Chains A and B, each alone.
Chain A
Amino acid sequence: MNESLLEILCCPLDKHELELEDAEYAADDDEEIVDGALSCSECGERYPIEDGIPNLLPPDMREETPA
């Protein structure tokens, strides 16, 4: 995901802003995040970013529980 996407994404639960954590960027694009996490500035829920796709499903709909 492009880092600019953070401006329009939010926590699916309480709609507060997300903060980027542990970001790893693409080798050829310093704005493209390939791995990391988004955490809600309000409730603290953590949403993983894997292979450039953030998983912003409500936590009870995630298939596997993140470690």
Chain B
Amino acid sequence: MTVVDPFESDPDEYDAWFDANADAYRAERVALERALPADYRRSRTVEIGAGTGRFAEPLGISLGVDPARSALVRARERDIESVQGVAESLPVADDAVDLALFVTVFAFVDDLEATLAETRRVLAEDGALVVAVLDRSSPVGRVYQEQKDENPFYADATFLTAAEARSALEDAGFTIERRLQTVFDDPSAVEEPDVREGHGDGLFAVTRARPDR
């Protein structure tokens, strides 16, 4: 999780995407809200790679972990408890978390296997993991993949497909519970939130999973 440079130097520009693409951002929030588990304690929630807190705040996540300090300063202004740390070596105690959230972060971690092992360690036995990836195999994802070198935030990203994310979760000892997708067109062209079951068509692919018993 060392790919922090553009996020560290330019949290304003990163944050600006959410204002410029307000409808896509809203559709993504709706998809994440629907994927949240039915019951968890808010005080035991963490977003890993929380950045400026754009998702943690509306979703009611209490703790944000991110390597980029300048982004966390913003998250703190949004009343998110903010801790500098990396996904592969989480500064969070065993079984301390009911809900762990990753929004588009799998594309930026150095070691996804270590990230998922750490997530399992911090999740309580009945905890849940909610993951959103930008699905490289979706129609919009294919465009992102082609154009990623032109975007300072994505040049170093390794986009996964939703299927690859699912395999990584299963290999790490998670059972998939729910799959949702949204953003079927260019994010700047999204209007009403359109969230559908399954994966394959939407850029923003959300998965809820739980640790295997």
A56 to B92, CA, bound (A): 10
A10–B69 CB distance below 8 A: no
Contact of A5 with B by CB under 8 A: yes
CB atoms of B91 and A10 under 8 A apart: yes
* Inter-subunit contact B81/A2 (CB<8 Å): yes
Judging by beta carbons under 8 Å apart, are B86 and A1 in contact? no
- Chain B CB within 8 A of A23 CB: no
Contact A15 B93 (CB under 8 A): yes
Chain A stretch 7-65: residues in CB contact (< 8 A) with chain B: 7-13, 15, 17, 47, 51-58, 61
B92 to A8, Cβ gap below 8 A? Answer: yes
Q: Is the CB of B63 within 8 A of A53?
A: no
Q: Count of chain A residues with Cβ under 8 Å from any Cβ of B?
A: 23
The docked-state distance in angstroms from the alpha carbon of A53 to that of B81 is 8
Q: Identify whether the interface residues of A are mostly helix, strand, loop, or mixed.
A: loop
Across-interface contacts of B67 in A (CB, < 8 A): 57, 61
**A2, A5, A7, A56: most-surrounded residue (chain B CB, <10 A):** A56
Report if B94 contacts A (CB, 8 A). yes
Tally A-B pairs: CB < 8 A: 63
Partner among A7, A53, A56 whose Cβ is within 8 Å of the Cβ of B91? A56
Chain B positions 117 through 137: 1 when the CB is less than 8 Å from some CB of chain A, otherwise 0 = 000010000000000000000
**Of A10, A12, A51, most B-chain CB atoms within 10 Å:** A12
Q: Which residue of A lies closest to B95 (CB)?
A: A8
B-chain residues with CB within 8 Å of residue A56 when the two chains form the complex:
83-85, 91
Report the separation of the CA atoms of residues A13 and B89 in the bound assembly, to the nearest whole angstrom: 7
B72 within 8 A of A: yes
Most buried by A among B76, B90, B93: B93
Give the distance in Å from the alpha carbon of A21 to the alpha carbon of B7 in the complex. Answer: 30
Q: How far does the alpha carbon of A7 sit from the alpha carbon of B122 in the complex, in Å?
A: 13
Binding site for B on A (CB under 8 A): 1-2, 4-5, 7-13, 15, 17, 47, 51-58, 61
Q: List 17 A-B contacts (CB under 8 A).
A: A1-B82, A2-B81, A5-B83, A8-B44, A8-B97, A10-B92, A15-B121, A17-B93, A52-B82, A53-B84, A54-B84, A55-B69, A55-B84, A56-B83, A58-B86, A58-B89, A61-B86
